[in-house]
Chain A
Amino acid sequence: GAVVSQHPSWVICKSGTSVKIECRSLDFQATTMFWYRQFPKQSLMLMATSNEGSKATYEQGVEKDKFLINHASLTLSTLTVTSAHPEDSSFYICSARSTSGRYQETQYFGPGTRLLVL
């Protein structure tokens, strides 16, 4: 149980284009989903927290107009990197928190999306 999927698993795009990444909780409902960014050999950096049906909460330093987050249902959140540039190249990982279960604080992570902007 508690499976989270991401699509696509990797994407290469040209500078200036927008890229959408989907995060789905497959076997549970998630009122809260999180988006992280990770650079090589570093820990995960939280970008934003999204609650179903409301606006995402962004961490300090993360541009909300650059990284658009939508959490339209209890099983789907999307991250759109708008006008991507090479410095946006990174590993993006989402996680979801279940609305039920033994510990509702537990976050389950997706497999990540590798973005390369040329």
Chain B
Amino acid sequence: GESVGLHLPTLSVQEGDNSIINCAYSNSASDYFIWYKQESGKGPQFIIDIRSNMDKRQGQRVTVLLNKTVKHLSLQIAATQPGDSAVYFCAEIEGYSTLTFGKGTMLLVSP
């Protein structure tokens, strides 16, 4: 059932700033990682992914960094816009098993 009093970590930024959302993953054998964006009332939307044989991958305004040594993943959003406001989830997977989701971070962008 629902956990009472659970709060998502929140990152508040000003429009135009760069945002960095962090994620610690748990399985050292995970070899594929995905960042998803979830707006209120909608399903998660694929943003960017990265393989474990890479440490950086860039997309349009987004960059994912992977540090396997400390099992850390980050999502950088350049020139953050109000439309970027959402909850961001990292997800990890080992082989063809199921995705394991992180807890999520809420990004709030002020105009």
Given A49-B98, A105-B93, A109-B36: A43 and B45 interface contact (C-beta under 8 Å): no
Is the beta-carbon distance between B32 and A103 smaller than 8 angstroms? yes
Is the beta-carbon distance between B1 and A112 smaller than 8 angstroms? no
Given A39-B3, A109-B36, 7 other A-B residues pairs in contact with their CB atoms under 8 A:
A41-B8, A42-B3, A43-B101, A103-B32, A107-B91, A109-B46, A110-B43
Q: Which B residues are within 8 Å of any A CB, using their own CB?
A: 1-3, 6-8, 32, 34, 36, 41-46, 49, 51, 89, 91, 93, 95-96, 98-99, 101-104
Tell me the bound Cα distance from A110 to B36 in angstroms: 12
> B103: shortest Cβ distance to chain A, in Å?
5
- In chain A, positions 1-59 with a C-beta closer than 8 Å to chain B are 2, 4, 6, 34, 39-44, 46, 49
Is the beta-carbon distance between B8 and A44 smaller than 8 angstroms? no
Is the beta-carbon distance between A106 and B49 smaller than 8 angstroms? yes
> B35: shortest Cβ distance to chain A, in Å?
12
